[in-house]
Amino acid sequence: MNIVKVKDYQEMSAWASKQVIDKIKSSDQPVLGLATGSTPEGLYQDLIEAYKNHQVSFKNVTTFNLDEYVGLAADDPNSYNYFMNDKLFNHVDIDPSHTHLPNGVATDLEQECKDYEALIKNTGQIDLQILGIGINGHIGFNEPGSSFSDRTQIVKLVDSTIEANSRFFAHKEDVPTHAVTMGIKTIMESKEIILLASGESKAKAIKQLIEGEVTEDFPASILQQHPNATIVIDNAAASLLNA
């Protein structure tokens, strides 16, 4: 695992944006894995800025997002489909048919998971997967105790995740209890992974990710075994590290 230390959220976003742009330019048909949440918002703003300044085009880019809430349709403002359109896709020249997220309101969710997994496989490997990290070490919505061999699946969100994500909803009770998420095995098959973390609230998780053991009780720890994973952390997120 490579560790990149930056000053703050802004630097983290700029660093990640440069990597994404380089990746897009290095391939005829780049495939990106994307995340939602607060962490990558600055990255997406920087990418929109770069697109507007004619520094990058998304015409040939294909994307796969990590996850979606069960029960939220794509036009629901709290859905991850909506988030991605609002924060990135609507502002760049990406072909909407090349952007993929699980369908949280599919009538047969088990089949939806299989179809999503097959779609990733048929597109080829994800060239670059962007990740955030939950305070409990989740990546995607793979909560502690998830198997490292999991594929795209339906998961039950733990209370701390529901609590953390309730900031986006009017009431905590409105946060869906389940999600569809790419599995850890699917994530680990990406050619390259960049995990971003900013702020004091992530410091404990980052310490465990970098200094702790590899265990299914802390899903992100598997990244220690990925051949090309980079952890990008700002000063606050790095504040509990030994070195």
Catalytically annotated residues = 67, 136, 138, 143
Q: How far is the CB of 31 from ligand F6R (least distance, A)?
A: 17
By CB under 6 A, name the one of 33, 37, 137, 183 that touches ligand F6R: 37
DSSP class of residue 237? T
| CB neighbour list of residue 173: distance below 8 Å, 6 or more residues apart | none
By CB under 6 A, name the one of 13, 17, 39, 146 that touches ligand F6R: 39
Note the residue count of the chain: 243
By CB under 6 A, name the one of 23, 87, 138, 151 that touches ligand F6R: 138
Q: Which CB atom, from 38 or from 177, has the smaller least distance to ligand F6R?
A: 38
Residue 221 in the binding site for ligand F6R (CB under 6 A): no
Rounded CA separation 130/32 (Å):
8
Rounded CA separation 157/176 (Å):
8
231: which 2 tokens? 């952890």
Question: Which stretch in 21-29, 120-128, 139-147, 149-157 sits in contact with ligand F6R by CB under 6 A?
Answer: 139-147
Q: Which CB atom, from 30 or from 134, has the smaller least distance to ligand F6R?
A: 134
Bridge-based pairing of strands 178-181 and 67-69 is antiparallel
Residue 68 in the binding site for ligand F6R (CB under 6 A): no
Rounded CA separation 211/241 (Å):
8
CB 152 within 8 Å of CB 113? yes
By CB under 6 A, name the one of 66, 70, 203, 210 that touches ligand F6R: 66
71: which 2 tokens? 């029960």
Q: Which CB atom, from 30 or from 40, has the smaller least distance to ligand F6R?
A: 40
By CB under 6 A, name the one of 104, 140, 176, 183 that touches ligand F6R: 140
By CB under 6 A, name the one of 134, 137, 176, 183 that touches ligand F6R: 134
Q: Residue 149: CA atoms inside 13 Å, Cβ hemisphere, count?
A: 0
Q: Which CB atom, from 66 or from 223, has the smaller least distance to ligand F6R?
A: 66
Strand order in the sheet with 153-156: 67-69, 178-181, 153-156
Q: Which residues bind ligand F6R (CB under 6 A)?
A: 35-39, 66-67, 132-134, 138-141
